[in-house]
A and B are shown apart, each in its own frame.
Chain A
Amino acid sequence: MSHPNPIDAVETARAVAAGELSAEQVVTRALNAARDLGGRLNLFLSLDRERALDRARAVDSARAAGRALGPLAGVPVALKANMCAEGFESNCASRILAGYHAPYTATFVMRLLDAGAIPIGVTNMDEFAMGSSGENSAFGPAKNPWDEARTPGGSSSGAAGAVAAGIVPIALGSDTGGSVRQPAALCGILGLKPTYGRISRYGLIAFASSLDQVSPFARSVRDLELLLELLSGADPLDSTSLPLAPLGRSGEEGARLDGLRIGVPAQYMPAGLDPRVRTAIEASLATFESLGAKLVEVSLPHTDAAIPCYYVVATAEASSNLARFEGVRYGMRELGDGSLQGMMAATRAAGFGPEVKRRILLGTYVLSSGYYAAWYGQALKVRRLLRRDFDRAFEQCDVIAGPTSPTPAFRLGAKTADPVAMYLNDILTAPASLAGLPALSLPCGFAEESGTRLPLGLQLIAPPLEDARVLRAARAFESATDFHTQHPALFAS
């Protein structure tokens, strides 16, 4: 199963380099699928057809001239609308940034371009990455290619849908509390949130700076490995990027996992867990045992506090980060009563959607005098307790495994009236974000619902900087299963 069907980024680049496919053919096909199928599912906010085709022709010319090609030469890629790149509208799916074109290009986009990858467009998302279903987009929700009545997950809704629907083999999202892992699970693809600091955030419009990580989507583990190699490494433009070299690939094919200790936290398999999710995870654990891994019970006792901790920390940081959108330096302006303060308040009132306003209010409240210690200060201490839980668990195991999402994809509209129910979607992904750990979601089964097959995701978490360890475990699992090769009926062929 080293050659997933349909072909992944590594195979696409090989076929282009070998002359079996031209980059122009590959990119034209992706652009057409993004327009047609992507349009039907509302996955893209804008496409950059001419520039993408120019870049594809440049790859074909370079090949014809015998020049060396990059490892992603001719591979179409989708970006998330909170990523800055010259030529793209980086509007964060928000009215306040409608029409915003960044005057610079993110480091991670530069690294993709240097490798020969071809960005074709920016994808739909929850406004400013605040959401778990894509429904907080100012431009309407993206739809899940497995069932158009359901969410693809969020906040990286369009990017996940675009990979699942076969429009592009790879895409970049951003993961703050699960915004890549959860949509990967709900769309039946892979998503990797690296260790915090592995990939430069320069050019990613900030939501919560101590949590945000640029995170790739793919349909094969080897594509994730290649993307991590290309995107990781210190960046002088981001002082939180780790002073480390890019993470190299192991080069191993799907191997056994003899001796690997896989920790299963009871808190990630609670009594009320969806039985279809439980069954798929238990089968996945049995697969790991058959590959030689040893299962170990571990405990993450503060898991229940992860959601409040996350929503206090993330909204506090967001209230600060989003203060910059006030009608002066970018985006729209509403004059209000004509004063400076009135202009700012009117611009923000007209430009932000309801969930962004709610989170700015929450973040402002937990940071305000009299409430700071009880809410924000307490959340920072609980964040350390959550990290200690992981440190203790990793004394007994090498990798932690469990579900990525407590349920398969839910119906659009099912949770929009209740923010608390929506926030609980993040219960299994927020802890690794708060602790800064590498975590990956990969396809591990399906749930039948109303005659539709809905994908399920397995989450693997490793200690800080052990990104290669989750990839190794995922590669072995991929070689023993075929979930990653299956795709929805709505698939660009």
Chain B
Amino acid sequence: MSAAHGHPSPTAPTGATPPAAHGTPDRAVVARTAALARLALSDAELDAVAPQFARILGSFEALRGLDTSGVEPMTRPIELAMIMRQDVPGDCLDPQAALAPAPKQVNGFFAVPKTLEAEG
């Protein structure tokens, strides 16, 4: 399964039941969700997307109303045991080829803006 469990809550302190969990997410919830998703949305985008978001989730009520007690979640369509292979090295991508699509590279590494402030 590729989807990760447990982003922090976009509303309330973790652990509390968020007030909007069974209602309509408001603009603030959408803004917090955008921050979690690393999406810098403009005010105009937030104004546009918040009502759409509420309408989309509102149209999904058929999902919420179903009784699923005792039903096991289905995370993938074909439930195979994990496929193992021999622990033998195979071919891998040339590092230069792997780096080639990067917007910036330095000395054979992906380059990113500085992440730590200088400390005294």
Report A's interface with B, CB cutoff 8 A.
100-104, 195-197, 206, 209-211, 236, 239-240, 242-243, 302, 304-305, 307-309, 311-312, 316-317, 319-321, 323, 326-333, 335-336, 338-346, 348-349, 352, 354, 357-358, 360-365, 367-372, 374-385, 387, 419-420, 423, 434-437, 464
Q: Smallest distance from the beta carbon of A416 to chain B beta carbons, Å?
A: 12
A235 to B101, CA, bound (A): 25
Q: Smallest distance from the beta carbon of B31 to chain A beta carbons, Å?
A: 10
B101:A101 contact, CB within 8 angstroms: yes
Chain B 33-65 near chain A by CB (<8 Å), digits 1 or 0: 111111111100100010011011101111110
Please, which residues of chain A bring their CB within 8 A of the CB of B66?
302, 305, 378, 382, 385
Judged by DSSP, the binding face of A is: helix
A345:B103 contact, CB within 8 angstroms: no
B78:A364 contact, CB within 8 angstroms: no
B8:A361 contact, CB within 8 angstroms: no
Please, which residues of chain A bring their CB within 8 A of the CB of B100?
101, 103
A311 to B82, CA, bound (A): 26
Given contacts A327-B103, A370-B21, contact A339 B73 (CB under 8 A): no
A437 to B14, CA, bound (A): 39
**Of the residues A316, A333, A340, A377, contact of B115 by C-beta under 8 Å:** A340
Please, which residues of chain A bring their CB within 8 A of the CB of B97?
103-104
Please, which residues of chain B bring their CB within 8 A of the CB of A304?
62
A-B pairs, 5 with minimum CB distance: A436-B77, A380-B73, A308-B60, A381-B68, A308-B63
A130 to B67, CA, bound (A): 29
A383:B74 contact, CB within 8 angstroms: yes
Interface residues on B, range: 35 or more
Q: Smallest distance from the beta carbon of A38 to chain B beta carbons, Å?
A: 26
Please, which residues of chain A bring their CB within 8 A of the CB of B71?
381-382, 384-385
A348:B39 contact, CB within 8 angstroms: yes
B52:A358 contact, CB within 8 angstroms: yes
Given contacts A338-B113, A348-B40, contact A368 B63 (CB under 8 A): no
A341 to B37, CA, bound (A): 11
Please, which residues of chain A bring their CB within 8 A of the CB of B102?
328-330
Given contacts A309-B63, A358-B49, contact A321 B2 (CB under 8 A): yes
A417 — nearest CB in chain B belongs to which residue? Answer: B52
Q: Smallest distance from the beta carbon of B112 to chain A beta carbons, Å?
A: 5
A302 to B71, CA, bound (A): 14
Given contacts A206-B2, A327-B103, A378-B68, contact A361 B53 (CB under 8 A): yes
B17:A370 contact, CB within 8 angstroms: yes
